[in-house]
Amino acid sequence: MTRPIELAGKSGARYRYLPLEEERFLPPAGANFVIAELTPEGAKVVYAGETDNLANQSWRQALERARKTYNEAKVLTRLNVTRAVREAERIDLIEHYQPPLNGKESRA
């Protein structure tokens, strides 16, 4: 089984994300996702997003954009059914990591 990666928000809350296996079946559930480079020092978050349906792969466009600059970028996910919870978590992560690819548009 894949090891979870713990990310902290600006609030101090900690969130456990799992690396996404891009070719596996994905549940049609709401989720947060981050795109990050995984290094021995930890995850370097380059984008944070959320989706109503992980299976529709709306994260793929953000991943392709990220890989133009960050070749080794990976998608990490965390299932969150409630939109309000997903949005609050995404904002908390953005405020902490200041992902370079979020800019003004931060939802995929």
Model confidence over 13-46: pLDDT tens digits?
Answer: 999 999 998 778 888 999 999 999 998 888 999 9
Average pLDDT over residues 67-82: 93
**Strand ordering across the sheet containing 31-39:** 5-8, 14-19, 74-79, 31-39, 42-51
**Cβ atoms of 44 and 73 closer than 8 Å:** no
Q: Using pLDDT thresholds of 50, 70 and 90, give the confidence band for residue 108.
A: very low
The alpha-helical segments, DSSP class H, found in the chain are 59-67, 83-97
Nearest to 47 by CA among 8, 86, 74: 74
pTM for the complete prediction? 0.89
pLDDT at 11: 97
Q: Tokens representing 103?
A: 């800019």
